[in-house]
């Protein structure tokens, strides 16, 4: 809903089965994500 109201609709390519899977997918260049602040503690090279 937030994306649509901003004028775009994201294309979903991958869905992470667990929250801990998100950062490695991003590091591999497979997309971007909006995650809870608690995941800022997960340090993965190539992810900011």
Domain locations in the chain as residue ranges: 16-48
Look at residue 29 and tell me whether its pLDDT is greater than 80: yes
Q: Under the phi-then-psi rule, with left for phi > 0, alpha for psi from -120 to 50, and beta for the rest, what region is 26?
A: alpha
Residue 14: predicted pLDDT: 78
Q: Please give the average per-residue pLDDT across 5-32, as a whole number.
A: 86
Residue 44 — pLDDT band, cuts 50, 70, 90? confident
**Is residue 12 within 8 Å of residue 1, measured between CB atoms?**
no
Helix (H) or strand (E) holding 23: helix 22-27
Residue 6: predicted pLDDT: 93
Mean pLDDT, rounded, of the chain: 84
- Report the alpha-carbon angle 22-8-44, nearest 5: 20
């Amino acid at each position: 809903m937030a994306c649509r109201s901003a004028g775009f609709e994201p294309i979903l390519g991958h869905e992470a089965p667990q929250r801990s899977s998100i950062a490695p997918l991003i590091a591999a260049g497979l997309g971007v994500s909006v995650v809870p602040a608690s995941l800022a503690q997960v340090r993965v090279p190539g992810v900011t």
